[in-house]
Amino acid sequence: MRKYIQEVVSSPYKIIAIDDDAGILDSLSVVLKRNGYSLTTFTNPLDAIKELKSTKYDLLLLDFIMSPLHGDQVVSEIRKFDKDLYILLLTGHKDLAPPLDTIKQLDIQGYCEKSDNFDQLLLLIESGLKSIDQRKTISDMNIELEDANTKLKKAYLDIVQTIRATVEAKDSYTRGHSDRVSAYSVLLGKYLHLNADEQEILKIGGLFHDVGKIGIPDTILLKNGKLTDEEYNEIKKHPQIGANILGESELFKNIIPFVKYHHERYDGRGYPEGLIGDNIPYVARIAAVADSFDAMSSRRVYRDSLPKEIVREEIVKNLGTQFDPEIGSTFLDIIDNHYDEIQTIKDTYK
């Protein structure tokens, strides 16, 4: 057994790596130190499990094919005493990797093939640590709320603004976009005759729908040029990341469907789960229309806002494919007969 501890460089996070190949661990230590991370390494998984029982770590880099325990067996042992550890599974044997169902069952958050190029692994580590940081923030807020039941409403609104500010600091586009998606969703809810509680879910859901972008690396989120397929796949993770973040709080359980499924399509070609038709939560079907309308009618880095007529044509063209026909038709009625209300939202949240 060899245990090697790299000196702390700048990151406050505790990362541990388990791999029975000492050369791989040496390479990981060098690369992570160069990028500001400290690392504790183990070649023996049994010793590493003992370490994890006695010391709290934030993220685990785990080899799959090892002796005397394979990676999935290591995770099974760890999950008996630590449900929160963020785990990235590494393997140099693609064909011998565990099946996807096993990865999901063990709550392994990421998977990466070993390579001489560590860029993809570093992106996964960065994304994982941002999710961990946000989860800790939410957890701390929950603890405070337990001692402040009489101020629950104020605390709820404070949490909304705190998390929004975190996301907005990362992506300035999110600020006006989230406000407008929230307002358009409520407007749609009103014309769909939803009650006040349901409209409140739409309001908060709209404000939070892109919160998962906190877990997307800045190099991807702020890229001006065309995204690669790999980068686009990272972007597509933000609804699930957002749902995971908000899932830590009982306060947000009603808006999770809005956040998690706002990129689903009525024809089943959306993400993250490819839900079809009425299997998509109703609030998420409303979100899809509101989100798409704002994306088309707002200015982007690569184009100006689209004219109202073009936006209307796109909604008509995608009824029954991208959009729920009833909800999309209701929004078309708003465009045709109540556009002043849309314009008010645009003027308010420029």
The residue from 114, 136, 169 where one domain ends is 114
- Which of 332, 125, 326 is closest to 219 using CA atoms? 125
* Buried-state track 260-289, b at ≥16 Cβ within 10 A, e below 16: bbbbbbbeeebbbeebeeeebbbbbbbbbb
Sequence length of the chain is 350
Q: Is residue 136 part of a domain?
A: no
HSE-CB at 134 with a 13 A cutoff on CA atoms is 29
Q: How far apart are CA 198 and CA 217, in angstroms?
A: 33
Question: Measured between alpha carbons, how far is residue 64 from residues 36, 193, 308 in Å?
Answer: 25, 53, 53
Q: Is residue 142 part of a domain?
A: no
Same domain? For 77 and 173 the reply is: no
Supply the residues annotated as catalytic.
213
Give backbone dihedrals phi and psi of 67, rounded to 5 degrees, phi first: -125, 140
Q: Is residue 127 part of a domain?
A: no
Question: Measured between alpha carbons, how far is residue 224 from residues 54, 221, 298, 300, 304 in Å?
Answer: 45, 9, 16, 10, 15
pLDDT digits over 146-168, tens only? Answer: 666 556 656 666 776 677 677 76
Q: Is residue 135 part of a domain?
A: no
CATH number (domain holding residue 298): 1.10.3210.10
Give, in degrees to the nearest 5, the angle at Cα 233 between 228 and 172: 85
The residue from 64, 95, 114 where one domain ends is 114
Structure confidence at residue 120 (pLDDT): 84
Same domain? For 267 and 169 the reply is: yes
Q: Is residue 93 part of a domain?
A: yes
Domain residue limits at 188: 149-348
Same domain? For 200 and 250 the reply is: yes
Number of H helices, E strands in the chain: 16, 6
Structure confidence at residue 313 (pLDDT): 96
CATH number (domain holding residue 45): 3.40.50.2300
Same domain? For 254 and 204 the reply is: yes
The alpha carbon of 334 is separated from its chain's Cα centroid by a whole number of angstroms, namely: 31
pLDDT digits over 187-230, tens only? Answer: 999 999 999 999 999 999 998 898 888 888 878 877 777 888 88
The first and second tokens of residue 328, run together, are 């999309």
Q: How far apart are CA 19 and CA 45, in angstroms?
A: 8
In this prediction, the residues of the chain whose per-residue pLDDT falls under 50 are 4-8
Same domain? For 305 and 157 the reply is: yes
Q: What is the DSSP string of 164-233?
A: HHHHHHH-HHHHHHHHHHHHHHHHHHHHTT--HHHHHHHHHHHHHTTGGGGGS-HHHHT--SPPPHHHHH
Same domain? For 197 and 106 the reply is: no
Same domain? For 38 and 93 the reply is: yes
Structure confidence at residue 7 (pLDDT): 47
Structure confidence at residue 140 (pLDDT): 79
Same domain? For 107 and 181 the reply is: no
Give, in degrees to the nearest 5, the angle at Cα 57 between 52 and 60: 85
Number of domains composing the chain: 2
Q: Is residue 122 part of a domain?
A: no
The residue from 69, 89, 114 where one domain ends is 114
Q: Is residue 124 part of a domain?
A: no
Give, in degrees to the nearest 5, the angle at Cα 66 between 62 and 69: 90
The sign of the CA dihedral 121, 122, 128, 131 is negative
Same domain? For 207 and 336 the reply is: yes
Structure confidence at residue 6 (pLDDT): 46
Same domain? For 182 and 285 the reply is: yes
Residue 203 CB coordination number (10 Å): 17
Same domain? For 102 and 168 the reply is: no
Judge if the upstream peptide bond of residue 217 is cis by omega within 30 degrees of 0.
no
- Asked if residue 152 lies in contact with residue 159, where contact means CB atoms within 8 angstroms, the answer is no
Q: Is residue 120 part of a domain?
A: no
Same domain? For 108 and 169 the reply is: no
